[in-house]
Amino acid sequence: MKKARIVVVGSSNTDMVVKSARIPGPGETVLGGEFVMAAGGKGANQAVAAARLGADVTLVARVGDDLFGERAIAGFRQEKIVADYIVKDPNKPSGVALIMVDDHGENIISVAPGANAELSPEDVQKARPAIEQADVVLIQLEIPLPAVHEAARLGEQSGARVILNPAPAQPLDDTLISCVDIITPNETEAEILTGIRPDSQEQLRKAAEELLRRGVNTVVITMGGKGSFLVSGEETGMVPTVPIRPVDTTAAGDAFNAALAIALAEGRGLRESISFANRAGALTATRLGAQPSLPTRAELDAFA
């Protein structure tokens, strides 16, 4: 089987996670909980997920010139991720995310982006040699939009498939969307991007068709335990997932996007690739933490 070549352009954070019975309300303290500190950030999560699933992965990112940054780069190299295009920023700290997770696996997250907010188009341009060799360029929105634009432009120009995971959601212009082959919002992100509340299959289809109208080729709306809703020029409909009892959904979407990129790069069809990605997201949600929860290819192949 062809080995996938993936370039991920995105964020790298250190996640500080507290798991407790429930998420406190404003002004409330909830006692009793488990604390975990782990590597995270949507870009880094997707890079690690892709590497563990068997791809050749290059990460384009910025970290601080600090202990968190050093630990992050060492971790990427341990995962056999090419870290040549990760910049150590002398003026900004590494990104940090504070995460609370309840007994149902739901979470709230607050991010201090630090060096992630300084990733520039010039940083992305330096990675052109890797992008020109990539099957897929995978991007998220925890980095500045000019860097996202440049990654999508270079990916389209090189003939790579460009996948945009529009999280955290924000308005996007059609110039960017038209460079994207596949966009993968969740339901909330789809509503922010289109103004259409996707609370039924008909509304899901309308939201997806609005994104198609703006220039993207394929829309995959992720719906957690329900699976994913696919709309492209050729097909429309739900792709079901594996039922699980979630522990922590923090990196499930990142595992989904990495697995989708790999399956497509390996030559699988679109619906089969989404099913593979659904399983990766489901397995990830059964474990605590971001990168610690990401499965290997052997673990995913064994997951029913």
Q: For residue 7, what are the β-bridge partners?
A: 58, 137
| Residues with Cβ within 8 Å of residue 255, at least 6 apart in sequence | 45, 49, 277, 280, 281, 283, 284, 293, 294, 295
Q: For residue 56, what are the β-bridge partners?
A: 5
Alpha carbon distance 161, 166 (integer Å): 16
Contact 60, 142 (CB under 8 A): no
Q: Catalytic site residue 254?
A: yes
Residue of 66, 89, 254, 301 marked active site: 254
How many CA atoms lie less than 13 Å away from 176 in the CB half-sphere? Answer: 21
Which structure tokens are listed for 107? 């979470």
Contact 123, 39 (CB under 8 A): no
What is the length of the chain? 304
Alpha carbon distance 292, 251 (integer Å): 9
Residue 227: helix, strand or coil by DSSP? Answer: coil
Q: Report, as residue numbers or ranges, the catalytic residues.
A: 254
